Chain A
Amino acid sequence: MKHDTPTVFVVDDDPLIRNGVRSLIGSVGLRVLTFGSALDFLRSTRPDAPGCLVLDVRLPDLSGLDLQRELRESDIHIPIIFITGHGDIPMTVEAMKAGAVEFLTKPFRGQNLLEAVQGAIARDRAARQERAEIAELRKCFDTLSPRERDVLGMVVTGLLNKQIAAELGISELTVKTHRAHIMEKMRAGSLAELVHITDRLRSVPPRE
């Protein structure tokens, strides 16, 4: 069962900062889990809830940037707020390109971190919502028969029933029946909605 209490993960090898950040974030009622190294974080079991990761760039063993790459490659989606002693430009660019939401330079003010955390959580919540919806749509799509998928592909490109019938070598009536099933299975109220759904599905590659 999913629970919706946001969780903030903090990875920093310096206990003073780790505990300071934990306290700071805890003071606004968010759940905080802290880790002394990137590996500790990777090994942990994390709740399936919206959240974000506050990550130090310089870490022993696996650096913050390494962890970011590792997460991306494992298809783990979590917004990352980097904190660093000195954010040089190339490093910042690399991190931001890889999807970091914020880059805070030490020493940073609590308010800035909290704002970044709130923003990241909201973002994660939306992203999770989006992923859930798409997963739902994918489920619907998966119930389509091969012929229905063919018809769907032609419908959304704007072909008329007559044209689709001619293309597939079936009767116009059969096309109409397929269309009705498609609309029902995909829970689309209109052609416009069906096009929109198809677009959303295409924007995310099907998961294996």
Chain B
Amino acid sequence: MATEARRASVDVVGDVAAWGAHFCLFYETKQDLLDTLISYCKSGLEREEYCLWIVAEPLTIEEARAALKNAVPDLDRYFASSRLEIVPARDWFLPGGVFDGKTLTASWYEKLASLSAKGYPGMRITGDTTWLSKKEWTHFCDYEDGLNEVIGNQRLAVLCTYPLAACGAPQILDVVRTHQFVLARRHGNWDVLETATLKRAKAELKGHNEELERRVAERTSELIKASEGLREAQAELARVTRLTTVGELTASIAHELKQPLAGAVANSDACLAWLSSQPPNLDEARAAADRTIEAATRASDIIGHIQALFRKAAPERTKVNINEVIEETLGLIRGEALRNNVSLQTELGSQLPPVLGDRVQLQQVVLNLVMNGIEATRSVDDRTRQLRIRSARHDPNQVVVAVADSGPGIDPHVVGRIFEPFYTTKPQGTGMGLAISRSIIEAHGGRLWAEPNTPRGATFQCRLPADIERVQ
């Protein structure tokens, strides 16, 4: 930006945003000099920076001051606060009538130290060189060269101005060598010359930038690839988790299904037996047939629930009765709980407002929390294995579902991590269950978290926004 700005126009000489710049201006006319320096100083003053203008013949202090006053109306204020100093070059460069580079450099250090102490946002200095004679040229060039070190990386810019008329080719070469870049202004037109060092530095910088950009691009594409891979892996894991859960649940579901099927078969056989007894007992036969139908209906309901639970449905937002979700899920899990000797207790709040959400996803969450709860109690042998599922209205706008187990509780060291993807404490766990559950709940505008139970165990709680308008 700074480079572009410098090239653009007079105004932008003011915008020497590159601090630490030690640059020079070759000028043709007095007007060229004034144009440049007014712009340079004005811009600094407007930014509350400190400005030092070292003026040399043929320009006088008064002319400089008047020209600046035209551009900066409240100039006196800056003088009054010593934010602006306009000093004659002979006083500055030739104290005692001789040029002494070393003393001058030392006095720069001093000056800059006292200015820095005042905490200006920046300092800009400009000095003209018309006073310079041929005999001092070499010394002055050494001094200019050393100035680069003085400037270092302070918030300081130094603009040295040289009259073109006084400079031959060797002088111009010297000036170009000792400055970071060169401006030339001839009758109102700008030229920017860059020094070889700067060019090299720029080229190097450009190379670095390109390298950096290349690396950034490379790394970005790697990251994109990795995150795509991660997303795929997550999707795959979510699927596997589902399948694993299905696997774990198969025994439970099979039992749930065999129960009504056994009822249907037993009652059908009983019906046949009553029909073929002598004489046929139609009342008993009818009762058995009724129970057969009931059993078959129950089997079909169970299949419906399983389908609802595992079909790949697009997320939808419907009015969901959370208690129904809990009861349906518990219907599937009951066998599993029984097998693990876990007593399931429910405390479902009455007249809960509905939740706007995806029924299947919410079932997945409840299923996951309950399965986790059952697993958590597996290690419990000295007390009742208990799982309490509670639903309630939490303030008027929220519905809360809590699953509390009597297991060993969550290690406080890992409690912060259990919702992280791939984090698991179970040998066969994928570490995705809670992560997916939380993302589902959050997608519903809710929150899912865990907290310890007293005296032991853990409670997983989720809060979901209620669909209030509909209930009223």
Contacts and interface: CB of A to CB of B under 8 A. Distances in A.
Interface stretch (A69-77, A107-115, A150-158, A197-205): A107-115
Given A58-B335, A60-B338, A20 B270 contact: yes
A111 B284 CA distance: 17
Interface in A7-22: 14, 16-17, 19-21
A24 B269 contact: yes
A10 B294 CA distance: 20
Contacts of A26: 270, 284
A3 B422 CA distance: 67
A107 B261 contact: yes
B251 interface: yes
Give the most central of B269, B271, B281, B287: most A CB within 10 Å.
Answer: B269
B339 A58 contact: yes
A94 B338 CA distance: 19
A26 B261 CA distance: 20
A174 interface: no
Contact of A86 (B255, B263, B274, B281): B255
B130 interface: no
A83 interface: yes
A163 interface: no
A106 B257 CA distance: 10
A171 interface: no
Contacts of B338: 58, 60
Interface residues of A, number: 23
Interface SS of chain B: helix
Contacts of B258: 85-86, 106-107
B284 A20 contact: no
A153 to B, nearest CB: 50
Contacts of A110: 265-266, 268-270, 272-273
Given A86-B255, A111-B269, A23 B262 contact: no
B143 to A, nearest CB: 98
Interface string A111-139: 10100000000000000000000000000
Given A16-B291, A86-B254, A106 B262 contact: yes
Contact of A85 (B254, B267, B292): B254
A192 interface: no
A85 B269 contact: no
A58 B255 contact: yes
Contacts of A19: 267, 287, 291
25 contacts: A16-B260, A16-B263, A16-B294, A16-B298, A20-B266, A20-B270, A21-B266, A23-B267, A23-B271, A23-B284, A23-B287, A23-B291, A24-B288, A26-B270, A58-B335, A85-B254, A86-B255, A106-B258, A106-B261, A107-B264, A108-B262, A108-B265, A109-B265, A110-B269, A113-B266
The 9 closest A-B pairs by CB, nearest first: A110-B269, A20-B266, A16-B263, A106-B262, A27-B273, A85-B255, A23-B270, A24-B270, A20-B267
Given A24-B273, A107-B264, 10 more contacts: A16-B260, A19-B267, A19-B287, A20-B262, A20-B292, A23-B284, A86-B254, A107-B266, A109-B265, A110-B265
